[in-house]
Amino acid sequence: MGRVVFSSGLTVNSGGCTEDVSPAPLLEEFRQARGRQRQRLLNAVLDQGRQLVALIPTALQAYDPEGDDWAAGSLIQLLMAHAGPTQAEFLLRHPRGWFAAPSAMGQDHQPLQQALATEAFEEADRITMASLRRMAGPAAVDRGYVFFSEVAALATTDLDTIDRLWVAYSRGRYGFSVQRRLLKACGGRWQQLWPRLGWKQDGVWTRYPNQFTWRHAAPEGHMPLVNQLRGVRLMDALLNHPAITARCPDG
């Protein structure tokens, strides 16, 4: 079985299991790692689970709450999965969520952050759609959906916050910026994007909500959902909003 030896001497086998390592070095290697190494270390972090919980609040001090580092989001999700004194103190210190969630229009993004931190992805998706309607204005709230023509006026700060939270709490796999990157990888061809997101299979749209996958195992870009039954213009407008393009350095 293959093994990876990290700079601290931490050894992880191909199954993601650590070999004779204390929790603190594992958390530091997890923070520093990138790409496949970080994915492999995630398995080791989850494998140690409860042993790491007491160390997570201190480990988070090395991360930027204004960023979208999914390692921090994963540690918070691990902490939220283990009720106890450490979790209780963490919630007292961060009642509105650990990641910064600014709003230019007085929106409360705490419910979204809470849903994502507890891996309640279906709830997070519904909160996201409700937030977009409120951002678009009373008419969008009354009709129950956003017109594509209303997207350009959505607050950049708020859309950036929503996308950051999705990326941070999804191991970097969900969010509008992820969907934009995948669309580019598909050469801008929407019909190639839908199956890749898991929104359409064999020419048939995935039925909401029961046929969607509301967990980390979903296809990359699977969430948040955007209704395509009225065409691609709404999603095209969202993925080309300045808040999202600014988060995609490769265009």
Domains and CATH numbers, the chain: 3-93 (no CATH), 110-245 (1.10.10.1770)
Q: Residue 11 has what pLDDT?
A: 65
Q: Residue 160 has what pLDDT?
A: 99
Query: How many Å separate Cα 189 from the centre of its chain?
Result: 24
Query: How many Å separate Cα 93 from the centre of its chain?
Result: 22
Comparing 12-26, 101-115, 181-195, the range with the smallest average pLDDT is 12-26
- Report whether 45 contacts 52 (CB < 8 A): yes
User: How many whole angstroms separate alpha carbon 169 and alpha carbon 208?
Assistant: 22
Give the global pTM: 0.93
Q: What is the pLDDT of residues 151-195, one digit of tens each?
A: 999 999 999 999 999 999 999 999 999 999 999 999 999 999 999
Q: What is the pLDDT of residues 201-239, one digit of tens each?
A: 999 999 999 999 999 999 999 999 998 877 899 999 999
User: How many whole angstroms separate alpha carbon 26 and alpha carbon 218?
Assistant: 26
What 3-state class would DSSP assign to 186?
coil
pLDDT greater than 90 at residue 5: no
User: How many whole angstroms separate alpha carbon 143 and alpha carbon 149?
Assistant: 14
Q: What is the pLDDT of residues 39-51, one digit of tens each?
A: 999 999 999 999 9
- Report whether 191 contacts 174 (CB < 8 A): no
Q: What is the pLDDT of residues 110-126, one digit of tens each?
A: 999 999 999 999 999 99
User: How many whole angstroms separate alpha carbon 47 and alpha carbon 16?
Assistant: 8
User: How many whole angstroms separate alpha carbon 248 and alpha carbon 239?
Assistant: 10
Share of the chain above pLDDT 90, in %: 88
How would you class 74 by CB atoms within 10 Å of its CB: exposed for 0-12, middle for 13-18, buried for 19 or more?
Answer: buried
User: How many whole angstroms separate alpha carbon 232 and alpha carbon 236?
Assistant: 6
Tokens of 21: 């390592």
Share of the chain above pLDDT 70, in %: 91
Q: Residue 1 has what pLDDT?
A: 46
User: How many whole angstroms separate alpha carbon 162 and alpha carbon 65?
Assistant: 14
pLDDT greater than 70 at residue 10: no
pLDDT band at 250 (very low <50, low <70, confident <90, very high): confident
Q: Residue 3 has what pLDDT?
A: 65
Give strand ranges (E) for the chain.
3-5, 11-13, 200-201, 204-205
Q: Residue 18 has what pLDDT?
A: 55
**CB neighbours of 104 closer than 8 A, spacing ≥ 6?**
155, 156, 157, 158
User: How many whole angstroms separate alpha carbon 121 and alpha carbon 250?
Assistant: 27
pLDDT greater than 60 at residue 19: no
pLDDT greater than 50 at residue 108: yes
User: How many whole angstroms separate alpha carbon 197 and alpha carbon 194?
Assistant: 5
CA angle 229, 235, 239 (to 5 degrees): 170
Phi, psi of 37 (to 5 degrees): -60, -40
121 or 2: which leads in pLDDT: 121
User: How many whole angstroms separate alpha carbon 230 and alpha carbon 139?
Assistant: 18
Query: How many Å separate Cα 16 from the centre of its chain?
Result: 22
